[in-house]
Chain A
Amino acid sequence: MIAGGGFERKSKASSEIPSSSLADMAFLLLIFFMVSTTFPQEQPRRYPWPEAEATRRLDEQRKNILHVYVTEGGEIFINDRLIPPAQVSNLIAPLYSENRQLLISLRADRNTPYATIYNIQEELQEAGALRLTFYTELEERITRERR
């Protein structure tokens, strides 16, 4: 016996994937990336950084950080400008008086002679900016054992 007199009720389930929520998903992701994006203010520079096991992540607001780039040849770049070594303190002193929380991130090539680095340390002391971070790459223990 056939139920409903032979007229079967058709299933209303659609065989298509619902796409009406696609825009919502896309907007959610979009908002996430919009919020997390920061446009770099200076030209990215990549040198071979020194490696250190004790490398720690710093929770510091971006506005408090000043990057000081040093090439292997001892050239110093701050905010995309080449700074003569003796001028570093003159440049940093006003920045430090504006922001007492200033943190210097010293991003130097691993093969820079130490004399250059020490000169920058002295210039920072002269400017009064005493919070210094040596930018390093996290060294995995395995690479150290291999050496």
Chain B
Amino acid sequence: MAILRKRSRASGEIPTASMADIAFLLLIFFLVTTIFDEERGLSIVLPEQGEEVDVSPQNVLHLVIQPTGVVEVKRGESPQVQTASAAQVSSIWRMEVSQNPNLIAAVKTAPGAPYRYMVDVLDQLQAAGAERVNLGILE
């Protein structure tokens, strides 16, 4: 007579039922720690130290930023001063550069003026496609 022996049920396989749980745990960890820090802003290239370029005064558009945010526009050697807001700078630049393609924007900011006023003007110039911009300080 055959004896019915109880067979061991231990499986030879690695249990995979908890695999999804492990994967999700790791997934949540990386989801939480991921930050997509994109680099953005307004790019310029500074002139080299001591580099001096002779520019004809008539090719310069002076933009003086006062501590209040008012922009004083002076064209070349002309003593006439036009006051404007930062938002008007792009239209001024577009108009001036259509008359003189060699124009350079010389931005001079008052030392006490908040940085954002300079950024506002630079923004307007870059939006208007100005590439030759000089950033200086008002003395």
Determine which of A108, A109, A114 lies in contact with B112 in the assembled complex, contact meaning CB atoms within 8 Å. Answer: A114
A114 to B126: give the CA distance in the assembly, Å.
19
Minimum distance in angstroms from A117 CB to a CB of chain B: 5
For B138, give the chain A residue with the smallest CB separation. Answer: A114
Minimum distance in angstroms from A128 CB to a CB of chain B: 8
Tell me which of A7-15, A32-40, A80-88 binds B: A32-40
Determine which of B30, B49, B116 lies in contact with A37 in the assembled complex, contact meaning CB atoms within 8 Å. Answer: B30
Determine which of A30, A111, A115, A139 lies in contact with B23 in the assembled complex, contact meaning CB atoms within 8 Å. Answer: A30
A114 touches B30 (CB 8 A): no
Contact-size category for B: 35 or more
B120 touches A50 (CB 8 A): yes
Minimum distance in angstroms from A95 CB to a CB of chain B: 16
A6 to B118: give the CA distance in the assembly, Å.
89
List chain A residues, Cβ under 8 A from B136: 118
Interface residue? B48 (CB, 8 A): yes
List chain A residues, Cβ under 8 A from B114: 110-114
Tell me which of B36-44, B55-63, B74-82, B94-102 binds A: B36-44
Within 8 A of A (CB), among B2-56: 16, 19-20, 23-24, 26-27, 30-31, 33-49
A117 touches B20 (CB 8 A): no
Minimum distance in angstroms from A120 CB to a CB of chain B: 10
List chain B residues, Cβ under 8 A from A124: 46
A57 to B124: give the CA distance in the assembly, Å.
17
Determine which of A30, A58, A65 lies in contact with B27 in the assembled complex, contact meaning CB atoms within 8 Å. Answer: A30
List chain A residues, Cβ under 8 A from B23: 23, 26-27, 30
Interface residue? A142 (CB, 8 A): no
Given A23-B20, A113-B114, A136–B46 Cβ distance below 8 Å?
A: no
For A139, give the chain B residue with the smallest CB separation. Answer: B123
Given A108-B115, A115-B137, A118-B111, A134–B20 Cβ distance below 8 Å?
A: no
List chain A residues, Cβ under 8 A from B40: 55-58, 135-136, 138
Interface residue? A1 (CB, 8 A): no
